[in-house]
């Protein structure tokens, strides 16, 4: 379910991009696609862990969070799946 959003958006953008190009030109189409991507960045910023009850609401005190993430197996498989999907487009 998590990775299916990438393929659904790929199917939706296929016919949408020529329509945007015909309607708004290449500059307007790129601006609209950038606006959609910017909204996805804002939505992705909301995907953070909820604070534990009784824990501090601030950021974790550890600075090695990125290193732990890069050693986390499910994250690495998820990232590799997107690399392969993006490579498959070309």
Q: pLDDT per residue over 39-80, tens digit each?
A: 877 777 777 766 777 766 666 566 567 788 788 888 888 888
| Domain boundary assignment for the chain | 7-48, 60-89
Is the pLDDT reported for residue 2 higher than 60? Answer: no
CB 6 within 8 A of CB 85: yes
Give the Cα separation of 89 and 87 in Å (integer).
5
pLDDT of residue 25: 95
Residue 30 burial (CB < 10 Å; 0-12/13-18/19+)? middle
pTM score above 0.85: no
State how far the alpha carbon of 26 is from the alpha carbons of 16, 22, 23, 31, 32, in Å. 13, 8, 9, 9, 10
In tens, the pLDDT along 4-42 reads: 666 777 788 889 899 999 999 999 999 998 888 888 777
Radius of gyration over alpha carbons of the chain, in Å? Answer: 18
């Amino acid at each position: 379910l998590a990775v299916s959003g990438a393929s659904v958006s790929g199917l939706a953008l296929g016919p949408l991009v020529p329509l945007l190009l015909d309607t708004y030109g290449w500059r307007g189409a790129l601006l609209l696609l950038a606006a959609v991507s910017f909204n996805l960045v804002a939505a992705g910023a909301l995907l953070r862990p909820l604070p534990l009850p009784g824990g501090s609401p601030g950021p974790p005190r550890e600075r090695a969070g990125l290193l732990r993430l890069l050693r986390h197996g499910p994250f690495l498989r998820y990232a590799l799946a997107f690399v392969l999907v993006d490579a498959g487009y070309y």
